[in-house]
A and B are shown apart, each in its own frame.
Chain A
Amino acid sequence: MIPLLGLLAGIVLGLVLEPSIPQALQPYLPIAIVAAMDALFGAFRAYLEGNFNDRVFVVSFISNVLIAAAIVYVGDQIGVGSQLSTGVVVVLGIRIFTNAAAIRRALFHA
């Protein structure tokens, strides 16, 4: 319940305050969001399977986001930024689907 309230609060704050991030970080925000979604699905799955750990969750969340952004940053520096970001999105998308499948099995056994 509290996590959902946190999500709602974030959305409302984003809509009301209209915050903006620095121009230099803007290309990495979408990748970071996808990585965060991956971490969230993984955490939910771990929670349903009974082995959720808040420390692991926080560390994996932050490291996921940072690694994804770093990969894209390095890709930008060496000139394959768009390809690498596509690759990262594909990998994270596969992981999100896998985690969603595990969540589905855990909740509905289907």
Chain B
Amino acid sequence: MRRATLRRTAAAEAPAGGPDDSAGSQAPAVRPDPGVSPQRSRGRLWSALRQPGRGQLIAAVMLFIVGLGGVMQIRINTADDTYTNARREDLVQLLDGLGSESRRLEDEISQLERTRTSLQSGADTQRVAREEAEKRVQVLSILAGTMPAEGPGIRMRIADPDNKVDADVLLNAVEEMRDAGAEVMEVNDTIRVVASTWFSSDASGLVIDGRQVSTPITVEVIGEPHSLEEAARFRGGIVSEITGPQIGGSVEIERLDRVVVESLHPVRQNQYAQPASPPPSPR
């Protein structure tokens, strides 16, 4: 410490913690200074540790202030309120950033909502189309005879002791039933009558779709029971034709609330015909 006070005159323009003290420190080799040799510096450090002086006391006060301020600043910095000591411009900038971010996110939200709505409506449309198609498939497969069917209708039992009911008579009967609105017809619980059903008679008896028909013939028809029965019974119709003197059979008709038709018509793939337009593709 004594040495420092002796050099006070030199310290006025030499580095002393002041603003100009970094001027010559970049090139110490160019300016050889007898006071900067490591041995003398270390010796100064040791003597300072051994015999503290007034300068050290002042340095201690300064370091005390720095330590206090540093701890305060660290405490402020680590505290949760990071924005309390931010400047107004910084806060405005932060707010601007947050505002634009939230706008961007809102845009994204509305876009995603639009996407969701369109996807939902697309799914709805697809579902409706599929339900419609399934309904049509059901109706058409009932028509084509590939699905069992049930409903109100009549059961007609034709007794033919002389085996005189031939294909013409039966075809007439089927036609009459169709005219009266029959939707599903079945002969003898085994033969489903569809659009392509054919009737024939040979020496052994009646043949429908290649299958022998035994007597008595039972025809089950699904449709409006009243009109079906009327269509069978009108004068010159099936009943009068069969019960007439030429055939001499008898016809029994009962109206039923529930007629179950479980026989199926075998599906045959078309060999030549193709649908003219492509089937509606699901959207």
Contact = CB atoms under 8 A, between A and B. Distances in A.
Do A and B associate with each other? yes
Interface of A: 1-11, 13-15, 18-21, 23, 26-27, 29-30, 32-33, 36-37, 39-43, 45-54, 56-61, 63-64, 76, 79, 81-82, 94-95, 98-99, 101-102, 105-109
B64 A48 contact: no
B15 interface: yes
Given A21-B72, A46-B16, A57-B58, A9 B42 contact: no
Given A26-B85, A45-B25, A9 B17 contact: no
Interface string B49-90: 100101111111111111111111101110000001111011
Contacts of A109: 37-38
B140 interface: no
B15 to A, nearest CB: 5
| Residue of A8, A43, A49, A99 most packed against chain B (CB within 10 A) | A49
Interface residues of B, number: 61
A3 B15 contact: no
Given A47-B48, A81-B87, 10 more contacts: A2-B56, A9-B64, A10-B70, A13-B64, A23-B85, A29-B73, A36-B66, A50-B41, A52-B11, A54-B54
| Residue of A6, A13, A41 most packed against chain B (CB within 10 A) | A6
A89 to B, nearest CB: 13
26 contacts: A3-B59, A3-B62, A6-B63, A7-B63, A7-B67, A10-B63, A10-B65, A10-B69, A11-B71, A13-B64, A29-B69, A29-B72, A33-B69, A48-B36, A49-B33, A50-B36, A52-B16, A52-B55, A53-B55, A56-B18, A57-B17, A57-B58, A61-B17, A61-B62, A81-B87, A94-B22
Contacts of A13: 64, 67-68
Interface secondary structure of B, over-half rule: helix
Interface stretch (B2-10, B105-113, B201-209): B2-10
A56 B17 CA distance: 7
Given A26-B84, A79-B89, A60 B18 contact: yes
A43 to B, nearest CB: 4
B95 interface: no
Interface in B122-136: none
Contacts of A30: 73, 77
B18 A51 contact: no
A19 B72 contact: yes
Nearest to A110: B38
B23 to A, nearest CB: 10
A40 to B, nearest CB: 7
A42 B21 contact: yes
Given A19-B68, A50-B44, A1 B17 contact: no
Interface of B: 3-5, 7-8, 10-12, 14-19, 21-22, 25-26, 28, 33, 35-38, 40-42, 44-45, 48-49, 52, 54-73, 75-77, 84-87, 89-90
Nearest to B69: A33
B3 to A, nearest CB: 6
A19 B75 CA distance: 10
B21 A10 contact: no
A97 B149 CA distance: 97
Contact of A45 (B15, B66, B73, B86): B15
A46 B65 CA distance: 20
B147 to A, nearest CB: 80
A22 B21 CA distance: 32
Contact of A40 (B17, B55, B84, B85): B17
